[in-house]
Amino acid sequence: MRRLRRLAHLVLFCPFSKGLQGRLPGLRARYVFLVWLGVFAGSWLAYVHYASYTELCRGHACQVVICDQYRKGTISGSMCQDLCDLHTVEWRACLSSLPGQQVYSGLWQGKEVTIKCGIEGSLHSKASVDAAPRREPVLFHKPTRGTSIKEFREMTLSFLKANLGDLPSLPALVGQVLLMADFNKDSRVSLAEAKSVWALLQRHEFLLLLSLQEKEHASRLLGYCGDLYVTEGAPRSSWHGAALPPLLRPLLPPALHRALQQWLGPAWPWRAKIAIGLLEFVEDLFHGSYGTFYMCETTLANVGYTATYDFKMADLQQVAPEAAVRRFLQGRHCEHSTDCTYGRDCRAPCDKLMRQCKGDLIQPNLAKVCELLRDYLLPGAPADLREELGRQLRTCTTLSGLASQVEAHHSLVLSHLKSLLWKEISNTKYS
């Protein structure tokens, strides 16, 4: 004990000479106070980080839920055996940002993958995993035993119409759903297969992944078990604030964020290539095979890219079908346009006379993306390009969300912007 006290005394007080301590008796107290203040602050940060981690990262509980239902025969899927029997799915880093949406990096069949699984609100972090199977009656309750394949097809078509709109292409999408459900290729869809694919369709991001599977800028679906599914490995993030703990991210000042982007981000030509991919993704969302989609949280956190700097949408949670946005706005009471906001930034004007939200959004996808690209592309842009690039981005941000104006100007502005960027990096190693 005496040795420990002596060691503590040396650590705390040796930086000061005895002469200095004698001349400045108050300095010792201040030094001790600052040291213990630092210890307290560090302990608090460690506690906050641990509490945040245990709340956000519950992959084990998710796996217990899924494997319990698989062993009961309630669900099935292309990766159930590897996940629950062979244990060849490796869970790695936790990437979750919301407790109800578990996201992990992982390894499956020799590939880097992203594992995604929903945890219902009834499964709290303090609850034991033994309580997890209570999800089954809620999540895997449809279709019921005795449902014919024709009834399941009609049930799926009705669901897609309600979420994507009444589109002539939906029967083909229903065919894809049934093909995916029959993962073992025995030309029949069992009740467990139908329950699994129906539960997957209730996951917003999965529905969008299914709708955008033909698009190169959305992650590819690799496998599933129940409502747990696996996509290609998570793309690299263009937002360097993602490395911070979730509770500290809002404290990052915009000026510091821009500086980090310029210092730590890819070289400008690579950023231009990523931006071209983002503009192509905007094209994909506008009048695609399964309708129009809106980006309702346009931030750098959603701008991802591969090892070859090809754009990949990092998160589809905030992309919404036009039908869902219009249904939200229809007849909605409002006093200001802020009352007509779907997600973070899908905002429609408020009719002050009728006190109801209008149907057209104030800004289309392209205008919001161009606002994002002004901070992403202009810093570090070549001097001979900066003025023209700035002018085109300013023009782009003034686009209106009115359907008539979008149809007239959207494609033209987007085409000019892509051509300008591509001309700068074509015939170089960056192309």
- Which parts of the chain sit beneath pLDDT 50? 4, 7, 10-13, 16-18, 20-21, 23-24, 47-52, 121-137, 242-243, 246-247
pLDDT of amino acid 307: 87
Contact present, 231 and 81 (Cβ < 8 Å) = no
Residue 348 CB burial class (10 angstroms; 0-12, 13-18, ≥19): buried
pLDDT of amino acid 269: 92
pLDDT of amino acid 149: 92
Euclidean distance between CA atoms 9 and 16, whole angstroms: 11
Euclidean distance between CA atoms 421 and 412, whole angstroms: 15
Which one, of 368, 370, 350, 366, lies nearest residue 358 by Cα? 350
Strands (E), 69-177: 90-94, 101-108, 111-118
Strand partners, 93: none
> Where do the H-state alpha helices sit in 73-215?
80, 136-139, 149-164, 170-181, 191-201, 204-211
Six-digit token string for 360:
């057209």
Helix or strand or coil: residue 230? strand
Task: Provide the CA 387 distance to its chain's centre, in angstroms.
Answer: 33
Which residues are CB-neighbours of 322 under 8 A, at least 6 positions away? 165, 291, 292, 293, 294
Residue 38 CB burial class (10 angstroms; 0-12, 13-18, ≥19): exposed
Euclidean distance between CA atoms 162 and 174, whole angstroms: 13
Strand partners, 115: 104, 230
Which one, of 252, 266, 248, 282, lies nearest residue 415 by Cα? 282
